[in-house]
Structure 1
Amino acid sequence: MCVILISVDKKTRPSLETLLACQASNRDGGGVAWLENGRPQYVKNVDAKFIHNILQTKKGQIVAHFRIATVGGVQPVLCHPFPISRNPSEGLSGSAKRVLFHNGTWGDWEKNLDKAIKSANIARPAGLFSDSRAGAVVASIKGLKAIHTFGGKFCVLSKKGAFMYNEGWVKHTDGVWYSNLHWNYRTKKYTPLSRKSWYSGYHDDIPWDDGVLPTCYKPKSYEYKKQPSLFDQACSLLKRTDDVEKKIGFKSDDDRLEAQYQASLRSKSAGRGGLKTTAETIGGF
């Protein structure tokens, strides 16, 4: 699954406990990137303690990643991030104009990579590939908006800051943005979440760019709160269904099932505050 962490300033640094929990759930290599003189610097194939030291000593926005290998296997060079380039470096440290982090899998990455390099009339870059490194190449050719067609969640760090792509981001009580909370049960302060809390909340009135900048993005529904138990949610749904029955009545069993289904849909919509699950984000690089 992997996990991406975005810390926007010194006030929102994740604890070492959090980093160790992320590492325990994603054991195949860590990486971190930050800005120096307006340019991303990165180091990868590092552990939680190294990343914690960077978070404590560097200023500004910092992005960290812990990998669990899927495409490409366990290889130091396939740790994140990757320079967004037509020939991304395989170095374990360096500097780049923009770097890319990925959480998830991209099923048809090889087809899209071959198509992109053919359109650009360039040779396939040398070295080991994963779907994430392929994404860095394709984004350099097709532009950052192409990221919305990739599978999973992405973060791009540039001189303008860290930008989030695609849905599923959540802001924790520590002020850090996470691409998922699958690691959270390993911490002492674990609180179970219902699925709806995993959405960062996409609004049509936000002036989107190619990505979402955490420092200016303030959705209405990101707060990390304990959710009602499944029993309470089921009772609430049954009550709403009973209310529907009283209002409209039923002509047949099919009518009854349809009304229950519609009530369930309305319940899910209401639970997310009417937010849409759109993937568009606009960015400005």
Structure 2
Amino acid sequence: MCVIVYKKAGAAMPSMDTLADCWATNPDGAGFMFPEGGKVSILKGFMRWADFASALSGAAQGRALAEAPVAFHFRIATHGKVKPGCCHPFPVKADYAAMRRTEARADVGFMHNGVLRGLATSGSVSDSMAFAKNVLNPLKALCDGFVCNESVAGLLGGVAQGSRFLLMDGAGNVATVGDWHEREGLAFSNLNHVSRFASAADSFGGMGGYDGAPLSDMARLGLFEPCSLCPYAEWCLEDAPLCRSAFEAEAVSEGLLAP
């Protein structure tokens, strides 16, 4: 499960501590985007925290990022390899090679948090990339004001499969799809870097984990100790945790509560 952090135009930039927490729980690469000169500027493929922090500092020099919308993405890989080209954001285009570029300018940029099934993926093509090419790009060609189009928003909400999307165009228009969380003046696609990490880490102690995985990895994904015995744990690892507390996870794992 990845996390998207969205700062609206005119809002304060997220603190480096907040971004570092997002990185710590979603460490498979990061990127960010913002509007500039009528296009969306995309910088991504940062596989080390120091490289991400340096790039963000460089981007802020000479730019009034506080006045612009800025979106950040921190990845946990589900489809596609852990490598720079599979990091978000992606330009909404039909060309996978263009999507993999770590520096790009695009009419529309796209970020995704979740898992999209039913798409052809590979080591070099993630579900997000396939969705951008096969769903978003044709819609963009058909619709004026693509990012602001209410019909498009309704359609994307219907096919999101529980995912969260963020779209940005070069004029600074931003659309979000799915359930988002407002915190500290920012919008987060989930809060796995905050409450679930802390509660899971406290619950696990030094015990073993799901399918032999270290419990630190489970906590990073928002799972709880009872998840190690739960028949739905694999689904949660692929999509997003269903339970919001160790108590709820225990009830689900014992069949006392439906997920």
Greater shift, 141-150 or 3-12, is seen at 141-150
**Unmatched 5+ residue regions in structure 1?**
114-125, 189-229, 231-285
What is the DSSP-based 3-state SS (H/G/I as helix, E as strand, rest coil) of the residue aligned with 1:181? coil
Match of 1:140 in 2: 137
Match among 45, 50, 57 for residue 54 of structure 2: 50
Q: Deviations over 1:200-233 (max 9, x none)?
A: xxxxxxxxxxxxxxxxxxxxxxxxxxxxxx9xxx
| TM-score normalised by the chain length of structure 1 | 0.55
Distance 1:161 1:180, change over 3 A: same
**Unmatched 5+ residue regions in structure 2?**
141-145, 147-151, 199-246, 248-259
For 1:1-285, list aligned pairs within 5 A.
Answer: 1-46=1-46, 47=49, 48-50=52-54, 52-53=56-57, 56-57=60-61, 58=63, 59=65, 60-88=68-96, 89=98, 90-110=100-120, 128-138=124-134, 139-143=136-140, 145=152, 146-148=155-157, 149-151=159-161, 152-173=163-184, 175-185=185-195
User: Structure 2 CA distance, aligned partners of 1:15 and 1:49?
Assistant: 11
Number of residue pairs matched? 174
User: Structure 1 CA distance, aligned partners of 2:58 and 2:126?
Assistant: 26
User: Structure 2 CA distance, aligned partners of 1:160 and 1:51?
Assistant: 23
Distance 1:181 1:140, change over 3 A: same
Q: After TM superposition, where is structure 1 displaced by more than 6 Å over at least 4 residues in a row?
A: none
User: Structure 2 CA distance, aligned partners of 1:186 and 1:55?
Assistant: 31
Instruction: Please tell me the root mean square deviation across aligned C-alpha atoms, in Å.
Output: 2.7
Amino acid corresponding to residue 147 of structure 1 in structure 2: L
Distance 1:54 1:132, change over 3 A: farther
Tell me, yes or no, if the aligned pair for 2:25 and 2:193 is still in contact at 8 Å.
Answer: yes
What is the DSSP-based 3-state SS (H/G/I as helix, E as strand, rest coil) of the residue aligned with 1:9? coil
Distance 1:186 1:51, change over 3 A: farther
Displacement of 1:133 in angstroms is 0.5
Tell me, yes or no, if the aligned pair for 2:33 and 2:43 is still in contact at 8 Å.
Answer: yes
